[in-house]
Amino acid sequence: MPVAEWLEDVAGVVRDEPLHRHSQFGVGGPAQWFVRTRDEPALASLLQRCHEAGVPVTMLGAGSNALILDAGVAGLVVRHDDRHMRVVDRETVDVGSGCMMPRVALDCARRGMGGLEFGIGVPGTLGASVYGNAGAFGTELADVLRDCTALGPAGTRHTLGNDECGFAYRHSRFKDELRGDVVVSARLRVHQDAPLAVRERTDAVQAQRKATQPYGVRSLGSVFKNPPGDTAGRLIEAAGMKGRRAGGAEISRKHANFIVNVERASAADVLALVQMAHDTVLERCGIDLEREIVILGEPGR
């Protein structure tokens, strides 16, 4: 574990923050240090100091896609909480990375700006949604992002156009070459429309989501990416895994690509189920499913 007592003198930084409080699944051990901030210059200088001191930095959004391991996360965990939303012009909104995607969708509907209706189906922050190219019901971030601004691991600010983000299915360069960059804001493309029409489309996405996915229970969204020409949910169901349990975690009976926390599950329970689903589908269907959820932290520390 890194030694950096100076971090405790930085405004807002706390030690041993329980991360299950920041996980929509409700699991995760403590962050060695944790800070929630909306002050970009302060974040840039904190990133620079951590970079120079060799303290690992892990970003956390709304904890809707990240499985935080039971032993927690060494180093500094950062939640960038800038939730601004500014209309730049009739076709562009500028959004802080801490803004929740459903909030972006609803605010745009209210202002008569279409194009971001899919956001109602993504219960996470904009920053993480850029990182993972989140999408729902046929639209993804790559379809609407004009550009985004990020801080490099040493705190340097840079802006990337859509074509520089390396977007692919649930992927961006922030997952590999730009690992360690922090997305701080993005400019998204919208189009003018009647508020009622945008709201109706937003409600239709929400209704479809409620009809097909577990709703009102703790989950991490889709556990695996869909393989070409098929869906992970269909394959896991075909492999007879619906309802399978490990400890307090269960493969959803409503949608087999979701794992739900039914009874004080641990991260280890989730990992056991993920492995079981992966191996069973490989054995019975010959398909090597790739994980969509992100794993943060370490199994032992």
Ligand X SMILES: Cc1cc2nc3c(=O)[nH]c(=O)nc-3n(C[C@H](O)[C@H](O)[C@H](O)COP(=O)(O)OP(=O)(O)OC[C@H]3O[C@@H](n4cnc5c(N)ncnc54)[C@H](O)[C@@H]3O)c2cc1C
Among 57, 182, 186, 246, binds ligand X (CB under 6 A): 182
| Sign of the torsion angle spanned by Cα atoms 122, 126, 130, 132 | negative
Is 52 marked active-site? no
Which of the 8 DSSP states describes residue 22? G
User: Of 114 and 124, which has the nearer Cβ to ligand X?
Assistant: 124
Task: List the catalytic residue out of 129, 219, 222, 266.
Answer: 222
What are the backbone angles phi and psi of residue 275, rounded to the nearest 5°? Answer: -60, -45
The residues in 189-218 that bind ligand X, with binding defined as CB under 6 A, are none
**What are 295's two structure tokens?**
């794993």
Q: Binding string to ligand X for residues 267 to 296, with x set by CB under 6 A, is what? A: ---------------------------x--
**What are 89's two structure tokens?**
């012009």
What are the backbone angles phi and psi of residue 218, rounded to the nearest 5°? Answer: -80, 120
CA distance 116 to 158: 24
Question: With binding defined as CB under 6 A, does residue 185 bind ligand X?
Answer: no
Residue 281 C-beta: closest distance to ligand X, Å: 20
Is 222 marked active-site? yes
State the burial class of residue 223 (Cβ atoms within 10 Å of its Cβ: 0-12, 13-18, 19+).
buried
CB 56 within 8 A of CB 74: yes
Question: With binding defined as CB under 6 A, does residue 257 bind ligand X?
Answer: no
Task: List the catalytic residue out of 17, 129, 140, 170.
Answer: 170
Q: Would you mind telling me the total number of residues written for the chain in this entry?
A: 301
The residues in 124-143 that bind ligand X, with binding defined as CB under 6 A, are 124-125, 127-129, 131-132, 134-136
* Catalytic residue IDs: 170, 222, 292
Binding residues for ligand X, rule: CB under 6 A, are 24, 58-66, 80, 97, 121-125, 127-129, 131-132, 134-136, 174, 182-183, 219-221, 294
